[in-house]
Amino acid sequence: MSNKKEFVNGLIEKIESDIKEGLDEQVFINDIREKVEEYITELIK
């Protein structure tokens, strides 16, 4: 997870799958914020 490439690919995968399934903007915003917070926590460990 702390690998940058892995994190970017994970986010791209999420964007593509959310758009494919019909994007819910508010849910997407919350998910991204959660993922970014988790990623920062990993980075500072």
Question: Of residues 7-36, which lie at the interface with other proteins (CB under 8 A)?
Answer: 7-8, 11-12, 15, 19, 23, 25, 28-29, 32-33, 36
DSSP string over 12-40: HHHHHHHHHH---HHHHHHHHHHHHHHHH
- Shortest distance, position 19 Cβ to other proteins, whole Å: 4
Query: Is residue 6 a contact partner of residue 39, using CB atoms and an 8 Å limit?
Result: no
Q: What is the contact surface with other proteins in residues (CB under 8 A)?
A: 4, 7-8, 11-12, 15, 19, 23, 25, 28-29, 32-33, 36-37, 39-41, 43-44
